[in-house]
Structure 1
Amino acid sequence: MNTRTNRIAAVVVCLGVLLLWTGAGRGEDSLRPLKDAVAPRTLDELWRGYDPRAEPLETTVVREWKQEDVTCRYVVFTIGTFKGKRSRLAGFYAFGSAARGKLPGLLHLHGGGQRANLTEVIFMARNGYAALSINWGAREMEGQKPGEPNTDWGRLDATQTGHNTHYRSMQPDDKTLDAVESPRNNNWFLLVLAARRALTFLERQEQVDGGRLGVCGHSMGGKLTTDLSGIDERVCVAVPSCGGSGSATSELAGVSGSGLREAPSAWDAATIDDRAYLGRIRCPILYLSPTNDFHAALDNMAANWRAVPSREVRYAVSPHFNHRHAKEFSVSQWLWLDHYLQGAAEVPRTPGLEVELPGPGGVPVARLRPDRPGEVARVRIYYSIDPHVLTRFWREAPARREGDAWTAPCPVMSTDQPLYVQASAYYPLKRTFKGYQWLEYDGLKEFAISSTMLTRRPQELQRAKVQPSDRAERIIDDFARPWEDWYRLQWANPVVWQAATRKVKDPKWQGGPGAVLAVDVKSPAGGALVARASVNTWGAFGPGGHGEYAAERTLAASSDWQTVRFRVEDFLPCDERTKGPLDGWGKLTELGLCGSGEAIRAGQKIKLGGRRWPEPRQFRNLRWE
């Protein structure tokens, strides 16, 4: 094709895009107007008459390029016409350049504050998928050039930047569809509708087998994944991450100190909340979320997912994390997707979990019965006595194998406290994946499949005559099981490494008045240790009085053990939002040991630590003195 022809083609494409974006040639609105101004009250009424395949996609390929072995496309297509103007959705579409035959299609739904993820779809393409990541949030696309189109919701707005109020509202305004209070005014409805159109885009690509479509997403994308799976039968398999648990039932919200809340209204619960969709999910689905996630409460999932009718439900629940996953759990999503979309090996079934009340000596006993017990590499059983879902510490109970089951005693300090139990079985990982920077599975030897969570209320413990047998301890961690009760971030970085635990919130390990925090360390090269204290996070101890504090200690260069001590008065506020000094250990929700940090001294922000302390970092006997 010569230069003149190229220019003519470019002009034609630009004119076509202009016509679409100005609404030229548009037909009727995609959704019928309300009859007699009566808004839908149920999910059936909300979606009645809508066909995500009915309207043309009017796809524009903004750009196409090769990234090593993957073909990438920047695409824009039509969501629908609303209030007389088209809404258009941008995204990245990718597939293996050398792929033969039809590929399974995989839809990626980004989380809050994020955007369409090019790296994610390239990873998926390298692992055998034709993948689409949509830019529902309308943030600038990665590598977007001046003049290139992006997501444009037209006369509506379902974004966080332009209409953030309407994730929990149905009220009408100038950016909503209906002139009366209606679930069609809620952002979540519009986003699920856009995701349904994204499935239509995928199934119509020449590289895609439309009978093999999967969906996955994180955080807000996790909720969208769950809801899409419940309303669109084209979804063959799903993995919601850190989203889709549903709001709290009235019973859960009524538990004192739980930190859980119900849906804004019964109307919301029937049309917008995950609970409206969960009872319709019939595809295989794996729930990927940590124990302490702020966006998808584990307690809500354990209660609400009982309604899921699918025969194939799995859980992968990382202990101690919030809004991220340990690799043994995150890799399970790819085993799950690969099984149903690529015919890979079957994933073990959800392990059965029981709680015996009481067990020997009046102590509760947890019992896990994993699938394929002969293949199990290890079992981890956790329990907690803290009703606050976001800040509770999960104690590991030593598990012992008894035939095809693993049992563990779960001693409590009082029968006035609830008991929460959750467990995972670990299996040898026999697969490899082509990963990327923050999803690298090289050297990973195991994957994990979890149970759901079981709860036993105080009245159940008392009725069963459970005997309180646990006692408080001054030793917080002897590190005989290094970091098992912690989560670690950037551990390979010798300067900004950090580890944190919620163990200090558990009554068994709380610091009393006048206590001094001490730990033994060994640092042949010297360096610095920063301790971080989180107080009343998420309002765990009631409203007000929350903050972040930090203290620093210089370490002598020595191959011998040295004791480092921190007193309450050593801690400085980390930011302007933290008001007043640390006034004790009683409201600690988390303790961190870090290589660096920041604090405020005399009104000035200062740097703490920041000296190199490479691995191995040796600790022992973290304790109260």
Structure 2
Amino acid sequence: MSYPRRSALLVLLLTTIFPGEPAKAGPPERGFTGPWNLESLKEAPQATWGAESDLIREVYYEGESFQGKPTRVFAYYGKPKGEGPFPAMVLVHGGGGKAFREWAKLWAERGYAALAMDLAGHGPDGPRLDDGGPDQDDHGKFQDFADSDVGQMWTYHAVAAVIRGHSLLAARPEVDAKRIGITGISWGGYLTCIVAGLDDRLKVAVPVYGCGFLNDNSFWLGQFKAMSPTLRDRWLSLFDPSKYLGGVRCPILFVNGTNDFAYPLDSYQKSYHLVPGPVDLCVTVRMPHGHSQGWTPQEIGLFVGSVLEGGKRLARLGAPVIADGLASAAIESQTPLVQAELAYTTDEGEWPKREWKTVEATLSEGKASAMLPEKRPLVFFLTVKDDRGAVASSPHVELK
């Protein structure tokens, strides 16, 4: 359903209460920039271009020095048909991933230039490069390191490769350098959270699964437990996305599932609450975790298109308000809404193992609402679906 125009006061209210927006005047100064030389990374890297077919071209570009030697990063560059200038996307794979040709092609077919790089020192089809950077294994991510060894760590190299990838795209004559975004999956979502807080040229970001606060709750708790306190503090101070999300200045959509094994909803919510501007959420029940599942949700393309091409954006839900057992969330939507649901769990324990249920919620003018189950503890959130089938969700609420 669509909504008639309301008073200016109500419009102002609905556009200022959505998740992640602070109650303070003016944006804070951009924060911590970590160990990276951003000025250098924003320069176009040296690149060697290779074979081209079916909208896709191979490219190698310079990376950071590793073990005292220069490195190269392999990537697939997708270029749409036509002359441009095209909007563009940086595509960041996750653990066990690589430079995915099909991902770059998907965005090229949508009309975007796209760069899908490899972040594990590999070339096309997976073999290691003689001059590749660190491998994307647990050793590369979590090894013991001193302050002087930061440049040997996987996260250091991966973030640099992603920002240089953006610079490579921005230098292309067929790319509109003022319309470039980023999306990443799993560890790529983790990197997207960091890069979105560092690279102020980005116009839109979509981290899928990945978040910060990995030491509080994540799949890698064992890794942090095995670290010395000094190493753990050093790692978290440099490489946890929680240190960088406060620097995000572009529109950002967080996509995840209720039962994600790696990035649970408690750490997820702490992460998106750090973003100083409005945050959009698409959390769905039992979303599978994987690369193909992470790049196919239509919400990603619609959200990016709303920012880079002026399309209609996803609905946005405010934080739920509870009164007499009824939970309600304010909605701002540019498209007709066709469905609302309440997702909830009364389970305790590990987030990935909790059983979630959904019930129909009520759509009324400017809000979605549903009666809450009486059982406690309770965790719930509200979702809406528009006439395109796109889902948006509210932040989750925990009741003891």
TM-score class, shorter-chain normalisation, is 0.7 to 0.9
2-structure distance, mates of 1:169, 1:50:
27
Partner of 1:323 in structure 2? 289
Partner of 2:13 in structure 1? none
The one of 58, 77, 94 equivalent to 2:46 is 58
1-structure distance, mates of 2:106, 2:383:
27
1-structure distance, mates of 2:220, 2:354:
13
Partner of 1:369 in structure 2? 330
- CA root-mean-square deviation: 2.9
Partner of 1:400 in structure 2? 362
**1:265-301 residue CA offsets vs partner (Å, 9 max, x unmatched):** 3333321111111111111110011111112211211
Q: Deviation at 1:83?
A: 4.8
SS of 1:299 mapped into structure 2: helix
- The letter of the residue matching 2:258 is T
Partner of 1:422 in structure 2? 381
Equivalenced residues, count? 361
Cα–Cα, structure 1 residues 373 and 120, in superposed 2: closer, same or farther, change >3 Å?
A: closer
Q: Deviation at 1:158?
A: 4.0
Q: Does residue 447 of structure 1 match 2:390? A: yes
Cα–Cα, structure 1 residues 185 and 385, in superposed 2: closer, same or farther, change >3 Å?
A: farther
Q: Deviation at 1:170?
A: 4.0
- The letter of the residue matching 1:407 is S
Partner of 2:209 in structure 1? 242
Map residues 495-514 of structure 1 onto 2, 5 A cutoff: none
Q: Deviation at 1:82?
A: 4.3
Q: Which has the larger radius of gyration?
A: 1
Map residues 169-568 of structure 1 onto 2, 5 A cutoff: 169-171=143-145, 180=148, 182-247=149-214, 249=216, 261=221, 264=224, 265-311=232-278, 313-323=279-289, 330-356=297-323, 359=324, 364-372=325-333, 375-387=336-348, 388-401=350-363, 403-413=365-375, 415=376, 418-429=377-388, 446-456=389-399, 458=400
SS of 1:321 mapped into structure 2: coil
**1:355-413 residue CA offsets vs partner (Å, 9 max, x unmatched):** 34xx2xxxx43223222398220101111122321111112244234554332222244
1-structure distance, mates of 2:341, 2:298:
17
Map residues 44-55 of structure 1 onto 2, 5 A cutoff: 44=33, 46-47=35-36, 51-54=40-43
Cα–Cα, structure 1 residues 269 and 204, in superposed 2: closer, same or farther, change >3 Å?
A: same
2-structure distance, mates of 1:326, 1:53:
31
- The letter of the residue matching 2:384 is A
SS of 1:235 mapped into structure 2: coil
Cα–Cα, structure 1 residues 406 and 262, in superposed 2: closer, same or farther, change >3 Å?
A: farther
Cα–Cα, structure 1 residues 84 and 137, in superposed 2: closer, same or farther, change >3 Å?
A: closer
The one of 109, 115, 118 equivalent to 1:132 is 115
Q: Deviation at 1:125?
A: 0.7
Cα–Cα, structure 1 residues 186 and 81, in superposed 2: closer, same or farther, change >3 Å?
A: closer
SS of 1:370 mapped into structure 2: strand
Identity of matched residues, %: 24
2-structure distance, mates of 1:96, 1:372:
30
2-structure distance, mates of 1:170, 1:150:
23
Q: Deviation at 1:326?
A: 8.1
Query: Contact between 1:425 and 1:449, CA under 8 Å: does it hold in 2?
Result: yes
Query: Contact between 1:316 and 1:330, CA under 8 Å: does it hold in 2?
Result: no
**1:35-63 residue CA offsets vs partner (Å, 9 max, x unmatched):** xxxxxxx9445235752134x62311121
2-structure distance, mates of 1:212, 1:411:
45
Query: Contact between 1:385 and 1:412, CA under 8 Å: does it hold in 2?
Result: no
Partner of 2:91 in structure 1? 108
Q: Deviation at 1:188?
A: 1.2
1-structure distance, mates of 2:72, 2:101:
19
Cα–Cα, structure 1 residues 151 and 223, in superposed 2: closer, same or farther, change >3 Å?
A: farther
Structure 1, unpaired ranges of 5+ = 1-41, 173-177, 430-445, 459-625
Q: Deviation at 1:73?
A: 0.8
Partner of 2:11 in structure 1? none
2-structure distance, mates of 1:102, 1:259:
41
2-structure distance, mates of 1:236, 1:269:
27
SS of 2:390 mapped into structure 1: strand
Partner of 1:621 in structure 2? none
1-structure distance, mates of 2:383, 2:363:
14
Cα–Cα, structure 1 residues 342 and 404, in superposed 2: closer, same or farther, change >3 Å?
A: closer
2-structure distance, mates of 1:345, 1:225:
23
SS of 1:81 mapped into structure 2: coil
Cα–Cα, structure 1 residues 268 and 309, in superposed 2: closer, same or farther, change >3 Å?
A: same
Q: Deviation at 1:116?
A: 0.7
SS of 2:384 mapped into structure 1: strand
Query: Contact between 2:211 and 2:271, CA under 8 Å: does it hold in 1?
Result: no
1-structure distance, mates of 2:200, 2:129:
26
2-structure distance, mates of 1:386, 1:45:
38
Cα–Cα, structure 1 residues 58 and 260, in superposed 2: closer, same or farther, change >3 Å?
A: closer
Q: Deviation at 1:79?
A: 1.1
